[in-house]
Amino acid sequence: MLHSFSTVSLDVVEKILENAFEWIVVVDKDGLITYMNKNYCDFVEVRQEEVVGRHVTEVIENTRMHIVAQTGKEELADLQYIRGNYMIANRIPIILKDECVGAFGTVIFRDASQWMQMSSHVKSLMSKIQSYIQDINNGAKYTLDDILTESSMVQELKDKVKLVAASDISILIRGESGTGKELFAHSIHQISNRSHQPFIKLNCAAIPEHLLESELFGYEEGAFTGAKKGGKKGKFQLADGGTLFLDEIGDMPMNMQVKLLRALQDGEIEPVGATKAVSVNVRILAATNRPLERMMEEKRFREDLYYRINVIPFYIPPLRNRYEDISLLAGHFVQKVSNKIGKRILGMEDKVLEKFLHYSWPGNIRELENAVEAAVHLTEKEKITMDSLPEYLRDPAVFSLGSKKLKEILEETEKGVLQRSLEKFPNDKLAAAHSLGISKSTLYEKLNKYGLS
């Protein structure tokens, strides 16, 4: 084969072939090897100079190169089992003057897992330019690009997402409240093989116990008083073919844990009031900030369900363990809030950043975002100053650690922001609402909530 090239030297051609592909083999019309590059020879443990002239079936197991050379029909992205691994190979006939004179084959990926990892990587890159055209029915809003970090720990997690996203394996995302567990769940779905199918979320802590079964599995018409005509699909059916994200799974009641486990094991669910099961194909992602291991010891979380959902564990570190991200995230939130409300804020004073770096952030990224949002609203300068920070950050002694819950601190901060807005616009509620980036009706709701006039 190679000796037929006249305008390019054999050395140049072989150099190109050695570097253009990881593995390549060329056969003539009888299936005899005319060329096989060194990488391929090393893998099948033969010497390069010994393979020329041998029939390809003697050198490569399960090959179809000789068949392609005979039929002239190409075979693309075909799985081939070689030496204990599935390879993904192309086999292309060589046609000269309308006659098939041989074939060349290349191995694109050396095993199926390498292909899946590459698929996830490509989807991750594509999400940078296609996120805005995601199908609205998909449900997943965030990608890996939305997870901002300079932390090696978090970057390793992002790399881990690319490795496991393509499989259908169950993943349990652990971490304190506000660390970004949901962003990781969205990102896993976005670069999975289910990315064009639904992403359905259920917060297990937000649904009353007596409604949780119908939320998960749906119900038939007439199943109970108040049931909708025609029944209702549950989260499992809505997520069929896609991903079901069970947030706060540690708060799921024990009786529902049993039914969830059965659904995961059987791939079937039984809607409330139904007489037969319904098959579903769903990938499960779960998240919790609860101590599941201790809950298992206390018989508050099923051990068999734990091992079912915790095939691949993810632990997202708290913000206090990734201080290198505080400046990055704070700057991002300043820009985000400023753009939303149309206010010109150029950044933070050094003292503010120093305060942020020395604070423990018990509410993690969510607390940081809320603190920055409050500061952007309160500042009257082009940079966030200490005076514009929420009171608990300016004077930590007022809010000693453990004396107040995060919800209380954030509510007191919001109330303070509202009071200062009313002082700034004493007779103009609309102007106060606009300054806060909210509607007038929302402003009145918040004023009523805190008893402000």
Dist CA 272 CA 380 (whole Å): 56
Angle between helices 112-130 and 152-164 (to 10 degrees): 110
Looking at per-residue pLDDT, the higher value among 83 and 216 belongs to 216
pLDDT band at 111 (very low <50, low <70, confident <90, very high): low
Contact 150, 328 (CB under 8 A): yes
The DSSP secondary structure of 191-246, one letter per residue, reads TSTTTTS-EEEEETTTS-HHHHHHHHH-B-TTSSTTPPTT-B--HHHHTTTSEEEE
Instruction: Determine contact, residues 222/177, Cβ cutoff 8 Å.
Output: no
Q: Is the pLDDT of residue 414 over 90?
A: no
In the three-class reduction of DSSP (H, G, I as helix; E, B as strand; rest coil), residue 12 is classed as helix
* Gyration radius (Cα) of the chain, Å: 30
User: Higher-confidence residue: 84 or 422?
Assistant: 422
- At 64-76, the pLDDT tens digits run 999 999 999 998 8
Contacts of 20 (CB under 8 A, 6+ apart): none
Q: Taking residues 351-371, what's their average pLDDT?
A: 92
Number of C-alpha atoms within 13 angstroms, CB side, residue 16? Answer: 7
Residues near 223 by beta carbon (within 8 Å), at least 6 away in sequence: 214, 231, 271, 272, 273, 274
* pLDDT computed for residue 286 by the predictor: 97
CB 415 within 8 A of CB 409: no
Q: Among 95-109, 190-204, 294-308, 429-443, whose mean pLDDT is lowest?
A: 429-443
298-299-300 Cα angle (round to 5): 90
What does the pLDDT read at residue 3?
45
What tokens appear for 17 in the block? 């072939």
DSSP annotation of 317 reads: P
Most confident segment among 121-125, 273-277, 394-398: 273-277
pLDDT over threshold 50, residue 282: yes
pLDDT digits (tens, 9 = 90+) for 221-277: 777 766 677 788 999 999 999 999 999 999 999 999 999 999 999 999 999 888 889
Q: How far apart are CA 148 and CA 400, in angstroms?
A: 30
* 69, amino acid identity: A
What b/e string do you get for 15-33 counting C-beta neighbours within 10 Å, with b at 16 or more? eebeeebebbbbbbbebbb
Amino acid at 191: I
| Residue 323: HSE in the Cβ half-sphere, 13 Å Cα cutoff | 9
Average pLDDT value for residue range 363-389: 91
Q: How far apart are the C-alpha atoms of 169 and 160, rounded to whole Å?
A: 13
Distance in angstroms (rounded) separating the CA atoms of residues 363 and 40: 54
- pLDDT at residue number 431: 78
DSSP characters over 128-139: HHHGGG--TTT-
Total residues found in the chain within this entry: 453
Give per-residue pLDDT as tens, 309-319: 999 999 999 99
Mean pLDDT over each residue of the chain, to the nearest integer: 84
DSSP H or E run through 368: helix 364-378
- Per-residue pLDDT at 10: 60
* Residue 313 phi, psi dihedral angles, 5° rounding: -90, 140
Express each pLDDT in 322-350 by its tens digit: 989 999 999 999 999 988 888 888 889 99
Express the helix, strand and coil content of the chain in percent, nearest 5 each.
50, 15, 35
What's the DSSP call for residue 318? Answer: P
Domains recognised in the chain with CATH numbers: 2-110 (3.30.450.20), 118-315 (3.40.50.300), 324-450 (1.10.8.60)
Residues 272, 218: Cα–Cα separation, whole Å: 6
* Ranges 108-112, 160-164, 266-270, 350-354: which has the least confidence: 108-112
pLDDT above 90 as % of the chain: 47
Q: How far apart are CA 217 and CA 214, in angstroms?
A: 5
Q: Please report the pLDDT score of residue 7 as a whole number.
A: 47
